[in-house]
Amino acid sequence: MDEDISIINSNTRKEKVKNFFFNNKKKISIFLIVVVLIIISFFGYGEFKDYQREKVSNLFYSTTINFDEKKKEETTKKLIEIIRLNDPTYSPLSLYFILDNNLISARGKINELFDMLIDKTSLDKEIKNLMIYKKGLYNSDEVSENELLEILNPIIKSDSVWSSHALYLLAEYFYSKNQKQKSKDFFNQIINSKKSNPDIVTEAQKRLNRDLSD
């Protein structure tokens, strides 16, 4: 008797499952198609990104390895093209190459490229902070005190590894302007901060002892 009931229950469950799939076969089919498409899209997108990254890499290296002073304009055009692709690796490297080889003299254009990298490119946090520091360094000979502070404030107010570098740049900036008290204040910030780079601390202490001691 118990065995018969068990068989009936088993058959009932099978029938329910069969009916469920039959009654919902359209929904199930759509669901399975969507899942398959998502999986295909995921792997396809990954392959596409890898392909794009390889293209950018090849473009960067072919452009920089074959660099010739006679082809500055062509080289600059290609490097700007790479920067506009917002690649987290090769876009910053392209701007560094432009700066190192003085390919663009217009300060406004360089700052535009800096802003493109800082604001629109998905950079690692500290790479972004490095870009901000380099923008400050690039502009330090030309901009006002307030402008330089505005550029560097995002780093100074953070726990970035570049914070002490930014403070040192400001200290040297004020020293060059003969504003020695402001310079001293920034050097002291470096020394008193636990997050400062040890080498920067050493240099700041030397500067204070040599040029700013009371």
Q: Is the pLDDT of residue 45 over 80?
A: no
Average confidence (pLDDT) over 175-190: 94
Question: Considering the entire predicted model, what is its pTM?
Answer: 0.75
Rounded distance between C-alpha atoms, residue 165 and residue 159, angstroms: 12
Residue 44: CB partners within 8 Å, gap ≥ 6?
none
Q: What is the pLDDT of residue 161?
A: 93
Q: What is the pLDDT of residue 2?
A: 47
Average confidence (pLDDT) over 102-110: 95
Confidence category of residue 4, pLDDT binned at 50, 70, 90: very low
Average confidence (pLDDT) over 50-66: 85
Domain residues of the chain, as ranges? 55-123, 142-214
Q: What is the pLDDT of residue 67?
A: 87
Rounded distance between C-alpha atoms, residue 78 and residue 85, angstroms: 11
| Percent of the chain clearing pLDDT 90 (strictly above) | 66
Q: What is the pLDDT of residue 35?
A: 61
pLDDT tens-digit series, residues 62-76: 999 988 888 899 999
More confident residue, 5 or 178: 178
- 157-161 long-range CB contacts below 8 Å, 24 or more apart? 158/129, 159/195, 160/125, 160/126, 160/129, 161/126, 161/129, 161/195, 161/197
Q: What is the pLDDT of residue 66?
A: 81
Task: Indicate the average pLDDT of the chain.
Answer: 84
